[in-house]
Amino acid sequence: MDPILQGLNNQQQDAVTSISDVLQILAPPGSGKTKTLTSRVAYLLQHHCYKPWNIICLTFTVKSSREMKERIANLLGSKIAGRLILGTFHSVCRRYLVAYGHLIGVHKGFGIADSSDTAAIIKRIIKRLSLSIDAKKAQSRISSSKSKGLTGPDQQNKQKKEKVARKLAQKEDTEQQEFSIVFEAYQSQLAQSNLLDYDDLLLRCVDLLRRHPTCVSNVEVVLIDEFQDTNVVQFDLMRLFAAKNKRVTTVGDPDQSIYGWRSAEIKNLERMQEQYPGMLTIHLKDNYRSSGAILLAADEVIQQDSSRPSKSLLPTHCPGTMPVLRRLPSAEIEALWIVSEIQRMIGLTGRLLKYSDFAILLRSASLSRQIESAMGRAGIPYRMVGGKKFFDRLEVKILLDYLRVISQPNNNDAISRIINIPARGLGATTVKGLLEEAETRNVALWTLLRNSTQNTTRTKLSKAAEQGLGSFVNLILTSRNRILDRNKLDSPEITLGYIIEKLDFQHYLEKSHGDDHEARWANVEELVVQASEYTVQGVNGWTEDDDLPNIRGLEQQQGNAAEEALARFLANIALASELQKEEEDMEGKGALQSQVTISTIHAAKGLEWPAVFVPSAYEGCIPHSRAEDTDEERRLLYVAMTRAQALLYLSCPTKNSQREETALSPFLSNKPVGNLLVSQGPTPTSSTVNDIARILRRDSTSQAEIFEACETLQSMHDNLWPLTGEEEVKSIGAKWRKWDSNEPLEHPSKRRRIQDG
């Protein structure tokens, strides 16, 4: 049998081999949509004579694109996989803008404004113009307008014109006017700093492909995963990428649409039929991910939405262990319970489950604090996805800002953040004055600073400040020159090393962050390791992730190789830290160590873990009190539950972090769901372990060993379960700390026996 089709069921094989130009695969979670899509890419390459650069494959997360690439590499070799145009929407659009942006006036070496840059720019505009509009509101309105394809206040106005005419209320009118002013000023500030925000990456790419369709004349097939979460701009991109011969495969599940709040259009699934009338739709039914019991409960939750067409999930696995629903006295105890349950299950299953098999999925990242601290105290290694991230840590941010200024000196905000780090006598008032002066003269801050060291047209500063300014400008100029110098071509790693040395950064950390300077220095070292992965290569040689094929008659923008490498490093960080929130940072060092994952539910899309916890399942959290669409909140819970393969734990503290009484989430409190959940952890028997092993298709350690582990845990079980009061949980926490080691929990008596033996 064709290795590409091996291990696929009949419907999946039909989808992989279909000769239909336009294909839509609609199927519930865990039915192998992503697997099928990946196999289809491999099949098209192998049997339809497409070249890798004929295929664009778009995913929602960095992680899933990496997994796809790996799978294709395993089937067809890494050279082929590396040349596919495969990645998230944002990263693929960026590649096109790097290569062809000059055709539509996107300047070479553009930087990416992440959400903190965007927030800073908007705040400054509002302050400068003394407007009263709320900065956060303006930011989210700008983004939401852009994700509907509106590129500026003019278009915005056109659409709103009628509505506004009707709204005579003074306040709304002013707000609308102010919004238009901010929008316009924001766009011109981005342009001046040569920055594109996340939405711009998509919008400008649409613009590029509309005006220069030949850029994608190499593209024969377009494939898109998680289609239910695309917005109108992404729909346009699909059409434009596929303009040449309209071959499109999309994969999706309306029940998992969870990005409506970000202007995703669930209607895009139906629009496919209008756009491509000959479309073939294939449904997959069998679920290969989760145990029967988990599927039953998840299904019962999603079925509460009566407006949705009824369909069922068909398990291929044994019923397994029933999902747990626990009510616990407080969020703190809930966190301790999770920690205790992770330890317990690792012990119970012998070596079958590892830390990396557990995920804790949160409605919002802010819920992680208690859990992180409980994990820390129990010595459990974890990685945080979608929360306070590596790249947001102060010392990392400072160095990245330096690199961003070196890469793109017109970035006013980055300059103002670092110009006085370490202290150079340029206090906040001085920097504000400089920024205002630059704005009045309508030049970038960098231009003002740079010119002023050569001739003095700018307002004079104190002697010390002038000196500090001179040293800053010098450092940026020398680092930039070293990148541009053909004899040097400093790689990102060398540039970073140079900056660290010139700033005497280690000493700076010691001086200004005495308490934890060592941990901070370790982060700096980690950043250097990551930078080392970006080597300086010829721009026209294939680099794994960046180049596009040459197209006859179309000049690709030529750049300096070292400059490109730095821009690529910075862009990958910016893209990894927004939607995807993949915590790329931890992958280098951290992947070696088995870690529990803590993630938002949104960032867990498309992924799976043997054991999943969904804490804080109370009304107000899920559904969230500020959420407008209750059905979307329900789907969010459904997505969370269907990430679990063998063990699913839902929990709800009776008091929230403000110590207010909570009510169980209405999605879980109705009877049919309740009947499918149990209030205690799985009873540790050898059949539990065997079930888990079967679902995971892992060869467990020997039966005897499992049995022994079960027996040991059975005896502990009576002591550990049920956990009722705070004191009990705390005492268990204390007990574990004594056993704390890198190994999974083992009963001390067992350890002794192994040593004796």
Q: Which two tokens stand for residue 711?
A: 């027996």
Amino acid at 3: P
Neighbours of 105 (CB within 10 A): 9
Tell me, rounded to whole angstroms, the distance of Cα 539 from its chain centroid: 27
- x/- track of binding to ligand ATP for residues 447-466 (CB under 6 A): --------------------
Q: Which one of 32-40, 307-315, 433-441, 658-666 is the stretch in contact with ligand ATP (CB under 6 A)?
A: 32-40
Q: Which one of 214-222, 497-505, 601-609, 711-719 is the stretch in contact with Mg ion (CB under 5 A)?
A: 601-609
Residue 670: CB minimum distance to ligand ATP, A: 24
Identify the residue among 320, 606, 615, 744 touching Mg ion (CB under 5 A): 606
Q: How far apart are CA 176 and CA 158, in angstroms?
A: 12
Identify the residue among 11, 13, 31, 452 touching ligand ATP (CB under 6 A): 31
Q: Which one of 16-24, 31-39, 83-91, 739-747 is the stretch in contact with ligand ATP (CB under 6 A)?
A: 31-39
Residue 520: CB minimum distance to ligand ATP, A: 37
Does 12 sit near ligand ATP (CB under 6 A)?
yes
From first CA to last CA, the distance across the chain in angstroms is 47
Does 526 sit near ligand ATP (CB under 6 A)?
no
Does 253 sit near ligand ATP (CB under 6 A)?
yes
Residue 254: burial class (beta carbons within 10 Å; 0-12, 13-18, 19+): middle
Cis peptide before 722 (omega within 30 of 0): yes
Closest-approach residue to Mg ion (CB): 34
Residue 648: CB minimum distance to ligand ATP, A: 14
| Contact call for residues 72 and 80 (beta carbons, < 8 A) | yes
Residue 8: CB minimum distance to ligand ATP, A: 5
Contact partner, 8, from Mg ion, ligand ATP, none, Cβ < 5-8 Å per class: ligand ATP
Identify the residue among 43, 60, 288, 337 touching ligand ATP (CB under 6 A): 288
| Contact call for residues 677 and 647 (beta carbons, < 8 A) | no
Q: Which two tokens stand for residue 141?
A: 């309105």
Q: How far apart are CA 243 and CA 55, in angstroms?
A: 13
**Number of chain residues interacting with ligand ATP (CB under 6 A):** 18
Q: How far apart are CA 403 and CA 395, in angstroms?
A: 13
Task: Please say which residue, 276 or 288, places its beta carbon nearer to Mg ion.
Answer: 288
| Contact call for residues 671 and 349 (beta carbons, < 8 A) | no
Q: How far apart are CA 641 and CA 232, in angstroms?
A: 28
Which ranges constitute the DSSP H helices of 366-504?
Answer: 368-378, 394-407, 412-418, 428-441, 445-454, 463-484, 492-503
Task: Please say which residue, 52 or 606, places its beta carbon nearer to ligand ATP.
Answer: 606
The residue written with tokens 């004079």 in the block is 460
Q: What are φ and ψ of residue 384, in 5° steps?
A: -105, 120
Contact partner, 291, from ligand ATP, Mg ion, none, Cβ < 5-8 Å per class: none
Nearest alpha-carbon partner for 633 in 294, 364, 360: 364
Q: Which one of 27-35, 140-148, 522-530, 531-539 is the stretch in contact with ligand ATP (CB under 6 A)?
A: 27-35
Contact partner, 178, from Mg ion, ligand ATP, none, Cβ < 5-8 Å per class: none
At residue 726, the 3 state secondary structure works out as helix
Q: Which one of 24-32, 141-149, 498-506, 626-634 is the stretch in contact with ligand ATP (CB under 6 A)?
A: 24-32
Task: Please say which residue, 417 or 643, places its beta carbon nearer to Mg ion.
Answer: 643
Task: Please say which residue, 196 or 224, places its beta carbon nearer to ligand ATP.
Answer: 224
Q: How far apart are CA 84 and CA 519, in angstroms?
A: 39
Residue 321: CB minimum distance to ligand ATP, A: 18
Identify the residue among 33, 247, 389, 417 touching ligand ATP (CB under 6 A): 33
Does 523 sit near Mg ion (CB under 5 A)?
no
Residue 734: burial class (beta carbons within 10 Å; 0-12, 13-18, 19+): exposed
Q: Which one of 31-39, 369-377, 519-527, 726-734 is the stretch in contact with Mg ion (CB under 5 A)?
A: 31-39
Q: How far apart are CA 564 and CA 418, in angstroms?
A: 23
Does 35 sit near ligand ATP (CB under 6 A)?
yes
Nearest alpha-carbon partner for 436 in 448, 427, 426, 424: 448
Q: How far apart are CA 513 and CA 208, in angstroms?
A: 47
Task: Please say which residue, 251 or 398, places its beta carbon nearer to Mg ion.
Answer: 251
Neighbours of 84 (CB within 10 A): 24
Measured between alpha carbons, how far is residue 527 from residues 77, 315, 584 in Å? 30, 44, 11
Task: Please say which residue, 36 or 430, places its beta carbon nearer to Mg ion.
Answer: 36
The residue written with tokens 């009949």 in the block is 10
| Contact call for residues 63 and 94 (beta carbons, < 8 A) | no
Span 639-668, contacts to ligand ATP by CB under 6 A: none
Residue 256: CB minimum distance to ligand ATP, A: 6
Does 289 sit near ligand ATP (CB under 6 A)?
yes
Task: Please say which residue, 323 or 606, places its beta carbon nearer to ligand ATP.
Answer: 606
3-state per-residue secondary structure call for 252-278: ECHHHCCCHHHCECCCHHHHHHHHCCC
Does 257 sit near ligand ATP (CB under 6 A)?
no
Span 595-624, contacts to ligand ATP by CB under 6 A: 606, 608
Task: Please say which residue, 235 or 288, places its beta carbon nearer to ligand ATP.
Answer: 288
Does 7 sit near ligand ATP (CB under 6 A)?
yes
Residue 331: burial class (beta carbons within 10 Å; 0-12, 13-18, 19+): buried
Q: How far apart are CA 28 and CA 573, in angstroms?
A: 32
Identify the residue among 31, 34, 38, 139 touching Mg ion (CB under 5 A): 34
Neighbours of 447 (CB within 10 A): 15
Q: How far apart are CA 614 and CA 653, in angstroms?
A: 12
Task: Please say which residue, 16 or 380, places its beta carbon nearer to ligand ATP.
Answer: 16
Contact partner, 468, from ligand ATP, Mg ion, none, Cβ < 5-8 Å per class: none
Contact partner, 684, from Mg ion, ligand ATP, none, Cβ < 5-8 Å per class: none
Task: Please say which residue, 35 or 95, places its beta carbon nearer to ligand ATP.
Answer: 35
DSSP state of 620: B
The answer for 620, left when phi > 0, alpha when psi is -120 to 50, beta otherwise, is left
Contact partner, 29, from Mg ion, ligand ATP, none, Cβ < 5-8 Å per class: ligand ATP
Q: Which one of 29-37, 320-328, 404-412, 468-476 is the stretch in contact with Mg ion (CB under 5 A)?
A: 29-37
Does 8 sit near ligand ATP (CB under 6 A)?
yes
Closest-approach residue to ligand ATP (CB): 32
Residue 65: CB minimum distance to ligand ATP, A: 13
Does 27 sit near ligand ATP (CB under 6 A)?
yes
Task: Please say which residue, 7 or 379, places its beta carbon nearer to ligand ATP.
Answer: 7
Binding site for ligand ATP (CB under 6 A): 7-9, 12, 27, 29-35, 253, 256, 288-289, 606, 608
Binding site for Mg ion (CB under 5 A): 33-34, 606
